[in-house]
Amino acid sequence: MQKPIIIGITGGIGGGKSTFSEFLRECGELVFDTDLEAKNIQDIDSKTIFEIKNLFGEKIYTEKGLDRVTVAKIVFNDKKKLYELNEIIHPKVKNRFKEWVKKHSDRKYLFMECAILYEAGFDAFVDKVVVVTAPEDIRIRRVILRDGLDEKQVRERIKNQIPDEEKITKANWVVNTDNCRKNIECVKDFLEMINS
């Protein structure tokens, strides 16, 4: 039995990765969302919760769960804490991904959505990569509307990511979500292209 071709979906903040992934799902494809999986692990895995409390203090978890806003502020200014947090979370996400791939080994394609595909070494788990992108001004506008951040905050986040231009040099395909008549058309065109 042939194993599935695993395609990583990456790109900078506001590029349209999540929308692209959602449309892939609507077309019947399976997409593993690394961000969502990391959040699930942080919220329900007791060992992870214990490790995160050791890293940031007991009060980092409230009755609503992990205080992600505070964590983001801390790790944005403290690269050592970011590294330590990633050392807690990333191996667990990678293990869950491997289990997910085994569970769906009958598929032709499997997709992994991962903003930090290269930064976190998730590219080692994929066969091909698609970069989903848009012009920076559109990305900034999207994130301001989606997350309620101001332009300066969005630009800081963009600055802390590998530029899309660099990711594109490593990619097999590029999808510009600004050029699509409708995003679903981008996905249909992409699926047609990889199947031809």
Q: Using DSSP bridges, classify how beta strands 109-113 and 31-33 pair: parallel, antiparallel or unpaired.
A: parallel
146 alpha-carbon distance from chain centroid: 16
Nearest to 113, CA basis, from 61, 36, 48: 36
Assigned token pair, 6: 């695993």
Residues at the annotated binding site for ATP? 14-19
Q: Supply φ then ψ for residue 109, to 5 degrees.
A: -130, 145
Residues at the annotated binding site? 14-19
Q: How many CA atoms lie within 13 A of 152 on its CB side?
A: 0
Instruction: Give the max Cα distance, the chain.
Output: 53
